[in-house]
């Protein structure tokens, strides 16, 4: 079972009717909260904050997983499926690649940028 289905199946099991009864706002706020917790861990690891709690690098991974779970729930609650996310991801990544390739082309010239990209693959 893929991660997306595992997350939504878990939600179905423990929160029946969540897709119809719980507002997207709940998931967007939960997502923001998890991102905040991730940022908080990094803040403490990099010397900030006043909390006496012990932090470690593994906590970054734990908070990233929590963030991913909330992102999947928000997207699913918004009517999207994993395939929709994957299509949007590929399209966005291609736009980013085109934008950066264009920027590199302007800096180095078209022929040189393609050579640089080929060397970095």
- The DSSP code sequence of 2-13 is -HHHHHHHHHHH
Provide the Cα torsion 29, 34, 39, 42; round to 10°.
170
**Annotated domain spans of the chain:** 1-80, 82-121
Summarised one tens digit per residue, pLDDT across range 30-73 is: 999 999 999 999 999 998 777 777 899 999 999 999 999 999 99
What gap in Å lies between CA 107 and CA 40, rounded to an integer? 37
pLDDT score recorded for residue 116: 60
According to DSSP, residue 22 is labeled S
Judged against a pLDDT cut of 60, whether residue 87 lies above it is answered with: yes
Judged against a pLDDT cut of 90, whether residue 121 lies above it is answered with: no
First-residue to last-residue Cα distance in the chain: 31
CATH label, 1-80, candidates 1.10.260, 1.10.287, 1.10.3470, 3.40.50: 1.10.287
What gap in Å lies between CA 53 and CA 21, rounded to an integer? 36
Q: Is the pTM of this model over 0.95?
A: no
Element (H, E) at 111: helix 110-120
What gap in Å lies between CA 68 and CA 106, rounded to an integer? 36
Q: How many residues does the chain have?
A: 121
Judged against a pLDDT cut of 60, whether residue 84 lies above it is answered with: yes
pLDDT score recorded for residue 115: 61
């Amino acid at each position: 079972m893929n991660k997306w289905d595992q997350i939504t199946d878990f939600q179905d099991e423990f929160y029946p009717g969540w897709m119809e009864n719980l507002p997207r706002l709940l998931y967007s706020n939960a997502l923001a909260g998890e991102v905040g917790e991730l940022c908080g861990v990094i803040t403490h690891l990099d010397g900030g904050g006043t909390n006496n709690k012990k932090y470690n690098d593994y906590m970054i991974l734990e908070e990233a997983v929590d963030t991913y779970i909330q992102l999947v729930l928000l997207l699913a609650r918004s009517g999207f499926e994993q395939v929709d996310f994957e299509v949007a991801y590929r399209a966005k990544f291609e736009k980013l690649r085109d934008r950066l390739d264009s920027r590199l082309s302007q800096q180095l010239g078209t022929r040189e940028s393609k050579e640089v990209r080929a060397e970095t693959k």
